[in-house]
C-alpha cells in the first residue's frame, strides 16, 4: 500500500487494548469493526454453550473482523485475547466507503480479507480433521 493509503486507513481507526482472555468479537453478532492486531496475540475460536475450540492463533499484523466489510453479515467466529494485546479498530462501513473511493486500495484490502477468510476456513478444516483422527488434510 502507498503511504497515502496507509494514512487514510489510519485516520479511520483508533487503537484499543484488550486484557488476557477478553472476548474481542462474539460469534453471531453483526460485525461492525475490522481489526488489525498491533501487539500481543489472539485466538480465533468456534464457540458453543459448553466449549470454545481454537481454530487459529493470531499475532501482530494479522487481521480479523473481515465480515464487517460485508453488509448485514454476522461474525462466524469469536476472537479472544490470549494475552494483553492492542489492535487498530476500523469501522467496517468506513473502510468499505474508502475502498469505493480508492478502487486500488479496495482491491488490496479485499484480497487481504479473502486471504484472511480462507485462512480461517483452512484452520477450521485442520481442527476438524484432528477431531476426526486424521493426521493430514488434503494437500
pLDDT digits 0-9 by tens, 53-112: 888 999 998 989 888 888 777 888 899 999 999 999 999 889 989 989 999 988 988 888
Distance CA 41, CA 122 (A): 19
pLDDT of residue 76: 82
Q: pLDDT band at 138, cuts 50/70/90?
A: low
What domains can you pick out in the chain, each with its CATH number? 3-126 (2.60.120.10)
Distance, in Å, from the CA atom of 72 to the CA atom of 77, rounded to the nearest integer, reads 16
Q: Is the pLDDT of residue 139 over 80?
A: no
Helix, strand, coil percentages in the chain from 3-state DSSP, rounded to 5: 40, 30, 30
Q: What is the pLDDT of residue 74?
A: 82
> 130 phi and psi, to 5 degrees?
-60, -45
Q: Which residues pair with 16 in a beta bridge?
A: 87
- Region 115-131 average pLDDT: 83
Say whether pLDDT at 137 is over 60: no
- Write out pLDDT tens, residues 14-64: 999 999 999 999 888 888 999 999 999 999 998 888 888 888 999 998 989
The reported pTM is 0.82
Contact call for residues 51 and 20 (beta carbons, < 8 A):
no
Distances (CA, A) of 98 to 5, 7, 9, 19, 113: 9, 12, 8, 30, 15
- CB atoms near residue 87 (< 10 Å): 29
What pLDDT score was predicted for residue 4? 82
Amino acid at each position: 500500500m502507498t503511504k497515502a493509503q496507509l494514512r487514510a486507513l489510519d485516520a479511520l481507526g483508533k487503537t484499543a487494548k484488550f486484557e488476557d482472555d477478553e472476548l474481542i468479537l462474539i460469534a453471531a453478532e453483526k460485525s461492525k469493526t475490522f481489526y488489525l492486531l498491533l501487539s500481543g496475540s489472539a485466538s480465533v475460536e468456534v464457540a458453543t454453550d459448553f466449549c470454545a475450540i481454537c481454530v487459529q492463533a493470531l499475532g501482530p499484523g494479522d487481521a480479523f473482523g473481515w465480515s464487517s466489510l460485508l453488509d448485514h453479515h454476522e461474525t462466524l467466529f469469536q476472537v479472544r485475547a490470549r494475552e494483553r494485546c492492542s489492535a487498530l479498530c476500523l469501522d467496517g462501513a468506513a473502510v468499505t466507503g474508502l475502498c469505493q473511493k480508492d478502487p486500488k486500495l479496495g482491491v488490496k484490502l479485499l484480497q487481504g480479507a479473502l486471504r484472511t477468510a480462507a485462512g480461517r476456513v483452512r484452520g477450521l478444516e485442520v481442527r476438524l480433521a484432528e477431531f476426526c483422527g486424521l493426521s493430514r488434510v488434503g494437500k
